[in-house]
Each structure stands twice: as C-alpha cells, then as structure tokens.
Homo-oligomer: A and B are copies of this chain.
Amino acid sequence: MVTIYFIQGNRYNDSMKKKPLRVVFVGFGHVARKMASMLTAEREKFPGLSGLELEPLAIFTGKHGALVDPSGIDLGKALAQYEENGAFPKASMTVLQALETLDYDVLVELSALDIARRGEPAIAHVRAALERGRHAVTANKGPAAFAYRELKNLAEKNKVYFLFESAVMDGTPIFGLPRILPGCRVAGFSGILNTTTNFVISRLEQGESMDSAVKTAQRLGFAEADPSLDLEGWDAAAKTAILANVFMDAGMTPLQVERRGIVGLTATEAGRARDRGRCLKLICRGWLDNGKVRAGVSLEEVPWGEFFAAVGGKGSCLRIETDMLGPIMINQEKPTLYDTASGVLFDLLTAAAQG
C-alpha cells in the first residue's frame, strides 16, 4: 500500500510530540481495549498513528479492579494482562483521587452513559481533569449532553481540550465539521443516530413482534442486555442534546429534548407504513423556533428512495443545515469497534498536537 499523505492543514504529524501522552483510563471495555490494541498489537496496520504513544498512569475498570502506577504502565502488557485474567488488581485509589493527584496529560473517559444519574460520575471525572488543566477525551455521552456549557467554558478557561468525537456516530468526524465549515451558522439538523431502534423497526416491518425483534437485536449485538435506554429514546435524546449544544449553543440536557421512543410500536403499524411505500425511522432533530433552539426525537415516516430510508444495518447519518450552503449529510455505513476506537484516537491526536 502506498503511503497516504494528508497534506492540507493537517498539523498533527508535524507538531506531535514524540514523548508519550500520559493518560488515565476510566473504563477499559471493548472500545478502550480495541484502541489499546490499535496502538500495540495492531499498530503496524495503522501507519498514521505512528506518532502517537500512550503511557497510562492508571487504568480503572467498572467492576474489575484497576492498575495504578505513577511511573507509567506498558499499555500492551496491561492489555494482555487484562485479557488473560479478565480483571486487574483491586484499586489502590479512587478515580477522583487519581485524577486529582497523578501527573497525566489526558483523561480518557470511556465509561457508559448513566441517564438516571444525569451523566455522573463521568461529568465529575471530566471536570476534575479540566480543572487541573488536563485534556479530557470521552466517548461517554453524559458530559456533553448534561454539562456541555460548564465543561466547555472550563476547558477554554484552562486552555485545554474537552473532546467527545465518538459520542455520536462513533469515529465519523461530526464534531470536527465546524472546523471545516468556517463562518457557517447551523440553522438545524436531523439524523438517524440510534442503531438499536433502527434495527428493531426494520424487523417490525418484516412482521416480527417487538419482543422477538429486541431479542434478535440482542443476539446480533445491536442491543444491550437492558435495551430500555435505546427503546425509550434516551440514547437518541442524549445525542440530540449534544448536537444541539455544540452546533446551536442550546445549553440543553436530554431532559429538554422532546422525546418519543419506539416502546409500544407494533409490527402492524410498521407494516402499514411499508404498504404506503414508506418506512419508519426514529429521527433526531434540532431546529430554531422563534430564535429559540428546540430539539426532538420522534418516529417519522420516510418515503423509500430518500437518503434516510437507505440507513440500515448499523448505519447512521446526520444532515446539517447552515446559513451559507444547502444541507450536507454525512453517513456512516458499517461501523465496528474500530470506528468508535478511531473517534477516541482522533481526539487523542488533537490533544497530542497541542501537547
């Protein structure tokens, strides 16, 4: 394979520090481990990552212990150790103690969204890092969905990054778009952002019952053991809030998103739409209503042949309307764990470029 250059304005490879980026991992699930693998065992497959070295000072898992070593942990060895034992030793300090005392460059927050706790404890973790002038990179939707303005202002005040590229559409560079649309103001957006509901609806259209469709989604890895966050529209609402906050300065939380999930939807209803040449899609929207930003998640009928109708499988899409140019749409077709891990890596490369 030829070497591919990214020339126009890509500062990363030029200015990236060669010394390792010292990180604290909070969460060491599938995404974190895929990312660790891309930087160790799989490194030769990704020559564009050659300038990025991570040196964890601590790795916290949710329920399987932690590794802490202020002098630095070998990422490859830690990954192998975790995959062999399924756990780390018992933690010698709490996450907040680590974030408040260790000398790291970047917090890598990869815990899962907790809607009931309004995005905590991830928000507290991100705040602790930013307050100490350390970058915060997170795939958790909580911080940007529930505390965007506060954390953004804190990051700006302390001249560090608060980044969350993989929180919406995995690695598809949604939150990078403003950088390449300079001067544009966003007038609204719409998208299909939750794959579980998209998959379940497609099964209902084929006549399957809700109960059976959810079980199929779980078996195929489309849905969590507890699918309520998806089916009730909370995951979509969290993503919608983030987009409204970042693109439209909405200052809202998922609780302010007008939300309808797909609970109670039946195969009969889905089939009726299909018979009219349409399909049902759970659409996330942000729009301006007399100068005020509103946002919603709702079930809509989309005619076959339109772009949104073509979003299937694990795909997702986002359409953005701006004042300067007609709507543009970005689609992700077949994301895997690599996509989510890549979103985190993009953020780490951005942080590494600043140092």
A residues with a Cβ closer than 8 A to B are 1-10, 12, 38, 45-49, 52, 152, 156, 163, 170-173, 175-187, 246-249, 288, 291-293, 304-307, 309-310, 319, 323-336, 338-339, 342-343, 345-346, 349-350, 353
Contacts and interface: CB of A to CB of B under 8 A. Distances in A.
Contact of A7 (B47, B178, B343): B178
A8 to B, nearest CB: 6
Contacts of A182: 6, 10, 12, 48, 346, 349-350, 353
A343 B305 CA distance: 28
Contact of A48 (B8, B170, B185): B185
A187 B1 contact: yes
A171 B349 contact: no
Contact of A2 (B2, B184, B248, B353): B248
Contacts of A4: 185-187, 247-249
Nearest to A152: B7
A183 B333 CA distance: 20
A323 B152 contact: no
Nearest to A3: B249
A305 B307 contact: no
Contact of A173 (B177, B249, B327): B177
Nearest to A335: B326
23 contacts: A1-B187, A1-B291, A2-B291, A4-B247, A6-B178, A7-B156, A7-B178, A9-B176, A45-B323, A52-B183, A171-B324, A172-B328, A176-B181, A180-B346, A181-B346, A305-B305, A307-B310, A326-B332, A326-B334, A326-B338, A326-B339, A328-B331, A329-B333
Nearest to A349: B182
A4 B49 CA distance: 33
Contacts of A156: 7
A307 B115 CA distance: 34
Contacts of A181: 6, 173, 176, 346
Contacts of A327: 333-334
A1 B187 CA distance: 8
A104 B323 CA distance: 29
Interface centre among A186, A324, A334 (most CB of B within 10 A): A324
A170 to B, nearest CB: 7
A288 B345 contact: no
A171 B181 CA distance: 9
B310 A1 contact: no
Contact of A8 (B5, B9, B246): B246
Nearest to A332: B328
B178 A345 contact: no
